[in-house]
Amino acid sequence: MAIKGFKNHPYIPNSVPEVQQEMLKEIGLNSLEELHAEVPEELKLKENMNLPKAFQSEYELRRHVEGLLKKNKSCNEYLNFLGAGCWQHYVPAICDEINSRGEFLTAYGGEPYNDFGRFQSLFEYQSLVAELVDMEVVNVPTMDWAQAASTAVRMASRIVDRKEVLVPKAMDQEKFLIMKNYCDPDITLVPVDYDKNTGLMDLEDLKNKLSSKTAAVYFENPSYLGFIEVNGQKISDMAHEVGALSVVGVDPSSLGVLEPPVRYGADIVCGDLQPLGIHMNYGGGQSGFMATMDEEKFVMEFPSRLFGIAPTIVEGEYGFGDVAYDRTSFGHHREHGKEYVGTQSALWGITAGVYLATMGPKGMEELGQNILQKSQYAISRLNEIKGVIGSRFNTVNFKEFVVDFNATGKTVKEINKELLAKGIFGGKDLSSEFPEMGQCALYCVTEIHTKTDIDKLITAIEEILHS
Amino acid sequence: MKRINRNFKVRNFHQAKWDEPIIFELSKKGERGILVPKAGEEIEKAVGDGISALPETMKRKEAPNLPEISQPRVLRHYMRLSQETLGADVNIEIGKGTCTVKYSPKVNEALARLPEMTELHPLQDESTVQGILEIMYKTDLYMREISGMDRFTFQPSGGSQAIFAMASIVRNYHRDKGQDEQRDEIITTIYSHPSDAAAPAVKGYKIIYIHPDEEGYPDFEAFKEAVSERTAAFIVANPEDTGVYNPRVKEFTELVHKAGGLCGYDQANANGLLGITRAKEAGFDMCFFNLHKTFSTPHGCGGPAVGATGVTKELEKYLPAPLIDYDGEKYFLNYEVTNNPYSIGKIRMFNGVAPVVLKAYAWIMSMGAEGLYEVAKVAVLNNNYLFKKLMEVDCVDAPYIRGKQRVEQVRYTLEKLTQDTGITTGDIQRRMMDFGMHYWTSHHPYYVPEPATLEPTETPSKEDLDEYIETLKHVFKEAYESPEIIKTAPHKSVCHQVDESGMDDPEKWAITWRSYLKKYKE
């Protein structure tokens, strides 16, 4: 059976047979089969691949995919309290409007002249995030927070020339796995224990593990489990005392109300941009950033592209370009450049810029306050349920909190199953990630939750546990 | 009134130029871009202002210095910046070699923006995400058919991260076999993507480069010398970024296997090979496809993206968790296959970049096997047409495999033009912008002197190709006749030549607006 092509395909102008003949003639060939002459016959497929037949119209394709997507139950339909690294926030319509623009959506590696808007918008995103974290240098985004954290600790390791990094034991275990693989084989991650009552990093354990081998201490604020690491300054000081760097991961949606990490000693800050105007996308909206002060020793260790502003030959005109391009693996040094660079998540960077420009200082402050109030309200209401502890740790939280169900006689799995039947996605079950906590779940409350939503959750849990 | 003469060969183009301020310059105290929901009286009554609960040391003392701009002004600013960006939707994408910039169908984008996609949380109960899991699982099946591999992961969020994932698998595979210490080298070729060297180097590997032989193929004799008991893997693009396909590729992979190494296939250049030849038959153990390139999803200024990474059955256990599976009744996240100490664990948070996978799925379903074959044939036809026409131009040459076909792209050299006129490939690049065209040189260092890498894909029409060719010829003619116009280009792009003298100087560079203001006071 001969291989067949798809003639007159709407996406392929030159699939018109007459045009193909004309072009083949120009290059001295008779048929399309004569192309691929360099591929040996024994490596060539002899018949068409075994794939489903193409839809014969755009309409049928659309119906088909819409039909598949209808099998999903989205967080518009259900009431969602899941967070744990991907958070449901309100996405201003302007963010989608801008990131749907075909010019941005389909641009890639053009130059600062013809892709000027891409350079300016990413420079602006860098500048806006810099204000949020109160630092001076921000990169073109990396894949996600985990990648940003991985690179941040590798940067720290190069800067101080040491190979051990301390991380909180109470961190996202999947993020830990990503960092571990990224640091392997030369950098070791050492978990530092947490205080069982507060969740905070155990300073005694930290002290014991800090040494002249320590390149960095990595911690997060708010932490993975939602509590605020109030000892940030102490941790940074302890790191600095042994000549290590302080690397802090941060949820940018908190920074309208929480002190930026640089104010408690952070040398490198990283985090995820997803809360800033990017839909959850089943985890496809993650996008990482890193920030430092404008010092050569930091800047020259970034593997990412850094867009800089510059004058042009015309007075009064802005121009842009790559700062210290030869740092990167795109530069002359290839594998001797800093780690590697490539396609990451630039469109989400532009989107985060639009979000921050739209929110402004007031918007970010109100967002933070709103999240604090609503999560505190949820915790207080959960505390009213017999057997439930609204927040397992007696430290103040931002957005997320560990709900303790140990005294309810039911597992989180059982509770979540019943919540699901009531149209609610309960918090993330932590029982396998942190077995020592028993039956606990990580709940997330943001500005999208109304009082009615929270009350509905409380009523549902009441019913599940006590009726 | 008269008939308007449209009989010209090059376009009288001018790109949009708005001369926009930097966003901070638009700030006006008191303006708001959006109103944020309030907690409401009842919540406030119950818990107070929320902020008082924070310890004093953790409260933000000074509000972030973000601009204050009303919504129409924010929108206008970014709309203008978008107009100042030459995306594939508005231009003939022939000049961006290695990038495979093709048409990204609008229907796929519309589907990926439905709330049943965008409003999914990755930790939702599996029963509530059956649709997206089915799409991801089936895309995995199609990728298996397209490559001959046995299982794919969609976690790597770009080609370079896919290479990193492959290098991570290489390390854990040899660790599993007890040979990790001994095998510390990865072999690639100089015309494979720089990330084929850079990403494995992060995993601690020493990189060995194979150069072309006299004819222009990767030098097999040198390769034989390089392969040894220290070889961890061979990671290579084929065709390389020159568009040269190595017909002896199977001998290369066999040699590596004999020596105990693995073979990873960088399929960033797969567009000309869909339905023609596969990773499996060429002897590779792993491969990846850029869904944002070959599968159209699109590029998004540089992501979100996916480097879909496939492996043979033998390597499946080393993949990151979870894999997406189907038990005959329901789709589910499979943590079992990779539940062993040698899995690389995790590459990206959650389960991959789902909307990108969705768009690739829709693209495959709009193509079928016959469509993918057509894509490959037309991409190669377009490229060889362009190749033929450009090689007829006196100042253009392309080193390697003389008289033979290229696959989907060619790396040309303008060395003669530079020798004749002093005009460099970088100058040509800037001048092409005056006609609304991208033109890409090469990765660094320039192994091909004065390089130009052009990849038409299946998207341009014959007329588009002819316009690109005519424009290049016009610019070459200018190089000989009026080089000044090229040296001072661009003239019709968004801005004029950038003074890059500060870009490598820590005292001068400005990576953020605040750094700029600090370094350059009025």
What chain A holds in terms of domains, given with CATH numbers, is: 13-69 (no CATH), 79-88+367-466 (3.90.1150.10), 93-356 (3.40.640.10)
Look up residue A15 and give its two tokens.
């699939």
pLDDT tens digits, one per residue of B81-108: 999 999 999 998 999 999 999 999 999 9
Q: Residue B390: what pLDDT?
A: 98
Chain A residue nearest residue B407, CA to CA: A36
> For residue A358, what is the nearest residue in chain B, using CA coordinates?
B33
Whether pLDDT at A32 is above 70: yes
Asked whether the CA dihedral B52, B53, B56, B59 is positive or negative, the reply is negative
User: Distance (Å, rounded) from C-alpha B365 to C-alpha B138?
Assistant: 11
Share of chain B above pLDDT 70, in %: 100
Question: In the predicted model, is pLDDT for residue B522 greater than 60?
Answer: yes
Q: Do residues B186 and B342 make contact, with C-beta atoms less than 8 angstroms apart? A: no
Candidate from B146, B381, B459 with C-beta closest to A35: B381
Helix (H, G, I), strand (E, B) or coil at B254: helix
Is the alpha carbon torsion for A97, A102, B444, B245 positive or negative?
positive
Distance from CA of A75 to the nearest CA of B (A): 5
Instruction: Flag if A306 and B511 touch (Cβ within 8 Å).
Output: yes
Q: Token pair 């199977």 is at which residue? A: B250
Q: Say if residue B350 is exposed, middle or buried (CB neighbours under 10 Å; 0-12, 13-18, 19+).
A: buried
The neighbouring-strand residues paired with B227 are none
Instruction: Give tens-digit pLDDT for B391-423.
Output: 999 999 999 999 999 999 999 999 999 999 999
A-chain residues near B188 (CB < 8 A): none
- Chain A environment of B366 (Cβ under 8 Å): 11, 54-55, 58, 61
Interface membership of B361 toward A (CB under 8 Å) = yes
B200 to chain A: closest CA residue: A335
CB contact under 8 A, B199 and A106: no
Looking up tokens 């007829």, which residue turns up?
B392
How does residue B511 score in pLDDT terms, banded at 50, 70 and 90? very high
The Cα of A161 is separated from the nearest Cα of chain B by a number of Å equal to 15
Cβ contact A357–B356 (<8 Å): no
Closest-CA residue of A relative to B38 is A370
Rounded-to-integer distance, Cα A42 and Cα A34, Å: 15
- Judged by a CB distance cut-off of 8 A, whether residue A203 touches chain B is no
**Cα gap A325→A63, rounded to integer Å:** 46
B171, B362, B443 member nearest A185 (Cβ): B171
DSSP letters for A10-76: TT-GGGSHHHHHHHHHHTT-SSGGGS-TTS-GGGB-SS----PPPPSSHHHHHHHHHHHHTTB--TT
Strand partners, B187: B208, B234
CB-count burial class (<10 Å; 0-12, 13-18, 19+) for B95: buried
The answer to whether the Cα torsion of B49, A79, B119, A223 is positive or negative is positive
Q: Maximum Cα–Cα distance for chain A, whole Å?
A: 83
What's the confidence (pLDDT) of residue B291?
98
Q: Are A365 and B68 in contact (CB under 8 A)?
A: no
Rounded distance between C-alpha atoms, residue B172 and residue B167, angstroms: 9
Question: Phi-psi bin for B202: left (phi > 0), alpha (psi -120 to 50), beta?
Answer: alpha
Q: Do B518 and A136 touch (CB under 8 A)?
A: yes
CA distance B124 to A81: 10
Q: Which amino acid is at A431?
A: S
Q: CB contact, 8 Å: A291 with chain B? A: no
**Which residues of chain B lie closer than 8 angstroms to A451, CB-CB?**
39-40, 42-43
Residue in A134, A294, A314 nearest the CB of B515? A294
Identity of the residue in A76, A186, A359 whose CB atom sits nearest the CB atom of B33: A359
pLDDT of residue B193: 96
| Residue in the block written with tokens 């302890």 | A238
What is the structure's pLDDT at B92? Answer: 86
Residues in chain A with CB shorter than 8 Å from the CB of B302 are 108-109, 140, 343-347
Residue A1 has pLDDT above 70, yes or no: no
Q: Distance, in angstroms, between A427 CA and closest chain B CA?
A: 9
Tell me what the mean pLDDT of segment B302-311 comes to: 97
The most distant pair of C-alpha atoms in chain B lies apart, rounded to whole Å, by: 83
Cα end-to-end distance, chain B, whole Å? 53
Residues of chain A in contact with residue B352, where contact means CB-CB under 8 angstroms, are 283-284
Question: If pLDDT is split at 50, 70 and 90, which confidence band does A2 have?
Answer: confident
Percent of chain B with pLDDT over 90: 99
Distance of residue B2 Cα from the nearest chain A Cα, in angstroms: 32
Query: Looking at the complex, does the CB of residue B178 fall below 8 Å from at least one CB of chain A?
Result: no
Measure in Å the smallest separation between the Cα of B420 and chain A Cα atoms. 26
Mean pLDDT over all residues of chain B?
Answer: 97
**Spatial distance between the Cα atoms of B33 and B296, rounded to a whole number of angstroms:** 34
- The residues pairing with A214 across neighbouring beta strands, listed in sequence order, are A164
B219 contacts chain A (CB < 8 A): no
By Cβ distance, the residue of A44, A343, A374 closest to B158 is A343
Cis link prior to B506 (omega < 30° from 0)?
no
Chain segment A331-365, per-residue pLDDT in tens: 999 999 999 999 999 999 999 999 999 999 999 99
Q: A14–B348: do the CB atoms touch at under 8 Å? A: no
ipTM of the complex: 0.98
Q: Pick the residue of A4, A8, A11 with the most B CBs within 10 A to test the interface with B by mutation.
A: A11
Contact B496 A27 (CB under 8 A): no
Alpha-carbon span A188 to B282, nearest angstrom = 37
Instruction: List Cβ neighbours of B277 (8 Å cut-off, separation of 6 or more).
Output: A36, A39, A43, A44, A45
Residues in chain A: 467
- Residue A458: in which H helix or E strand, if any? helix A451-466
Give me the amino acid identity at B72: P
Q: Do A65 and B111 touch (CB under 8 A)?
A: yes
Round to whole Å and give the CA distance between A290 and A462: 43
* Mean pLDDT across B425-436: 98
Per DSSP, the three-state class of A161 is coil
Q: Which residue of B87, B146, B495 is in closest CB contact with A105?
A: B87
Return the number of other C-beta atoms located less than 10 Å from residue B384's C-beta: 26
In the A/B pair of chains, how many CB contacts fall below 8 A?
A: 740
Report residue B431's pLDDT band, with 50, 70 and 90 as the boundaries: very high
Contact map slice: B 49-108 vs A, CB within 8 A: 49-51, 53-55, 57-61, 63-69, 71, 74-75, 77-90, 96, 99, 101, 103-105, 107
Q: In sequence order, what DSSP letters do the residues of B284-339 get, joined into one string?
A: -SEEEEETTTTT----TTT-S--EEEEE-GGGGGGSBSPEEEE-SS-EEEE-STT-
User: Mind listing the pLDDT tens digit for each residue in B184-242?
Assistant: 999 999 999 999 999 999 999 999 999 999 999 999 999 999 999 999 999 999 999 99
Residues of A with CB below 8 A from B367's CB? 6, 9, 11, 54
Contact B139, B357 (CB under 8 A): yes
DSSP letter, residue B123: T
Minimum distance, in Å, between the CA of residue B511 and any CA atom of chain A: 4
Instruction: Inform me whether the C-beta atom of residue A236 falls under 8 Å from chain B C-beta atoms.
Output: no
Output the CATH code of domain B128-364.
3.40.640.10
Q: Which of these ranges, A57-66, B2-11, B486-495, B506-515, has the smallest mean pLDDT?
A: B2-11
Using a pLDDT cut of 70, give the percent of chain A over it: 100
Looking at CA atoms only, how far is residue A23 from chain B in angstroms? 7
Which residues 474-503 of B have a C-beta within 8 angstroms of A?
Answer: 490, 493-500, 502-503
- Contact list in A for residue B95 (CB cut-off 8 A) is none
Type of residue found at B19? D
- pLDDT tens, position by position, A201-222: 999 999 999 999 999 999 999 9
Judging contacts by C-beta atoms under 8 Å, the chain A residues touching residue B345 are 177-178, 180-181
Residues of chain B with CATH 3.40.640.10: 128-364
- Alpha helices for B333-413 (secondary structure H): 354-391
Measuring CA to CA, which residue among B321, B1, B404, B327 is closest to residue B154? B321
Q: Do A65 and B361 touch (CB under 8 A)?
A: yes
Separation between Cα atoms, residue A139 and residue B257, nearest integer Å: 40
| C-alpha span between B326 and B153 (Å, rounded) | 15
